[in-house]
Amino acid sequence: GESVGLHLPTLSVQEGDNSIINCAYSNSASDYFIWYKQESGKGPQFIIDIRSNMDKRQGQRVTVLLNKTVKHLSLQIAATQPGDSAVYFCAENGDNNNDMRFGAGTRLTVKP
């Protein structure tokens, strides 16, 4: 079946650098794409979402880009900090907009 997936399982960056986390999706019918952050021992936390009719959305230090042509989603984190170390998941709202399905996750490690 169609699903959300990730390019890389791990990413290591230097503190202060920008981070880019990628995600591939296959369900063109999804209305929203979402990024979540999960710290060790905790449940995921919402970061930012983007509607399927948008290309870019910015939040505080984060930007999400959506490329519908190649079905690709990315999360950019500016000036990465040690507190950004976590696993990041992309997710999509399903066809009926009532279920939310997640990709496998990327572990981001920020080196001091």
Partner 1 sequence: NAGVTQTPKFQVLKTGQSMTLQCAQDMNHNSMYWYRQDPGMGLRLIYYSASEGTTDKGEVPNGYNVSRLNKREFSLRLESAAPSQTSVYFCASTSYWVRTEAFFGQGTRLTVV
Residues that bind partner 1 (CB under 8 A): 1, 9, 32, 34, 36, 41-46, 49, 89, 93, 97-105
Q: Which residues contact 25 (CB under 8 A, 6 or more apart)?
A: 2, 3, 4, 5, 33, 71, 72, 73, 90, 92, 103
**Residue 37: CB minimum distance to partner 1, A:** 11
Kindly tell me which of 41 and 112 has the beta carbon lying closer to partner 1.
41
In whole angstroms, how far apart are CA 2 and each of 22, 25, 42, 77? 17, 8, 27, 27
Pick 46 or 111: Cβ nearer partner 1: 46
Q: Residue 14: name the closest of 79, 87, 105, 86 by CA.
A: 79
Shortest spacing between CB 12 and partner 1, in angstroms: 18
Task: For partner 1, give the closer residue by CB, 68 or 107.
Answer: 107
Give me the least distance between CB of 46 and partner 1, in Å please.
Answer: 4
